[in-house]
Structure formats: C-alpha cells, structure tokens
Structure 1
Amino acid sequence: MRRERRAVGARQTLRALHRGVAQVVYVARDADPAVTRPIVELSQRLAVELIYVDSMQALGRACGIDVGASAAALVAEEPPADAKRQRKGGA
C-alpha cells in the first residue's frame, strides 16, 4: 500500500466508504467474511476499486502496523462535490 492517507481496519474503512472518501479498498482474504462482507458490498455498490490481499498480516504490515488488518482504504482529503450534495439530499 502506498504511503498516502489511509483508513485501517474494518470500521475506519466502512466510515471512509460512507463518507465518500475511499478511493481504493483493500480486503484480506483470510479475514472473517462477516466483517468484510459489508465492506465488499458497499465498495461494489459505490464502484470503488476493490483489491484482495493474501492475509491480514500482510495488509497490516503494508499499512505500517504490527497487527493484522481485515481491511484498509486509501482516502481522499475531501469527499467529491457530488457526494456532499447526495448526503445533504440535493441533486
């Protein structure tokens, strides 16, 4: 994973997807499907690039942490303008 701004872990990744700032989502193949399924489904629904990684340990290492991670995302600084309008109920 590149050294850009990121969300690490299932909760942070889901939060980034909901806010519309996730640009690429990484999911560990050996993570609990009950944890990763909502992330995968939302990524697909939002047409966010989804990349599978062999293991939680490898994903955690790539994110610079000493423990495994089930999911991670590269995030933009600000949500796209159209995402802000959608959240506010606009066009």
Structure 2
Amino acid sequence: MLEELKAREKVVGVKQSRRAVRDGLALRVFLAADADPALTGPIREQCRESHVPVTEDYTMEQLGQAAGIQVGAAVVALLKKNP
C-alpha cells in the first residue's frame, strides 16, 4: 500500500488531510501508528463520519518517506484521481 502512496497524488499533514476529507477529495487516509492520538483522533472520527477508509499500519517515518518528505508524517491523505 505504501507503493501506491508513493505513486499517487497526496496531501501531508493534519490540516490538509482534514480539508481533503471535508471536501470529498480523500480516497484513503493513512494515520501513523506511533503518532499522538490527540493529533490523529479528530481526523479518524472525521473519516468515520465521511466513510473514508483509514489505514494505521505504518510509522511516522514510513509515511514521511512514502510521502517524499525528510521528516515523519502523522497523517497522509491519498487523493482521488481527477475525473
């Protein structure tokens, strides 16, 4: 699944990911298993309410690398393909 995350369009971070979920642009949200629950809890709930699948199988370091950034990422949203 990380390979798909590397190859597809995505947004990184809580604010941008929440915006993508809110706007119906998120296909799936990746939450780092080692991220602070206070940080990931609100977006987990938003995803549940919006019926966006959540994956929590990876660490912040793994998500950061897959997103192409030099630091860890608590939240990454995989975006839907453009119509």
- TM-score relative to the length of structure 1: 0.79
* Greater Rg over alpha carbons, structure: 1
Which blocks of at least 5 consecutive residues in structure 2 are unaligned?
none
Query: How far 1:75 moved relative to its partner?
Result: 0.9
Larger RCO (alpha carbons 8 Å, 6+ apart): 2
Question: How many pairs are equivalent?
Answer: 79
SS in 1 for 2:34: coil
Within-5 A mapping of 1:51-66: 51-66=55-70
Which blocks of at least 5 consecutive residues in structure 1 are unaligned?
81-91
Runs of 4+ aligned residues of structure 1 deviating over 4 Å after TM superposition are: none
- TM-score relative to the length of structure 2: 0.86
Distance 2:23 2:77 in 1: 12
Q: Percent identity?
A: 39
Q: How big is the alpha-carbon RMSD for the aligned residues of Structure 1 and Structure 2?
A: 1.6
